[in-house]
Amino acid sequence: MTESVDYVSLLFVFMLATLIGLGVIRRVSRLLHTPLMSLTNAISAIAVVGAIIVTGEDHPLHIRILGAIALFASMTNIVSGFLITNRMLKMFKREGDRS
């Protein structure tokens, strides 16, 4: 039993998500980019879960390699997003504030 994959529909959804994402990001004020980036870390967490599932299951080697690359890219995005947000928040602290 083989399933056919509708690549045209998948490509259409990918292109539509890309255009909507670009439209949303362009309309965001520059002051909100860092909080927005922190919010996108939650979206990257979904990609991490998907990449773990793909990497861990019994798929062909090339698919598992792509899953591992996706896992690395998503984790890099999450960690760097938190580091940048933390650094920006430190800029707004006064010298007398704790933590």
Half-sphere exposure (Cβ direction) of 7: Cα atoms closer than 13 Å: 0
d(CA 31, CA 42): 20
Instruction: Output the pLDDT for position 1.
Output: 61
Output 37 or 94, whichever has higher pLDDT. Answer: 94
CA–CA distance from 86 to each of 70, 76, 92 (Å)? 24, 15, 10
**What are 80's two structure tokens?**
């760097």
∠ CA 71-16-36 to the nearest 5 degrees? 60
Q: 27-31, 44-48, 66-70, 76-80 — which is least confidently predicted?
A: 27-31
Whether the pLDDT of residue 99 is over 60: the answer is no
Contact 59, 43 (CB under 8 A): no
Q: What's the pTM?
A: 0.55
Average per-residue pLDDT for the chain: 78
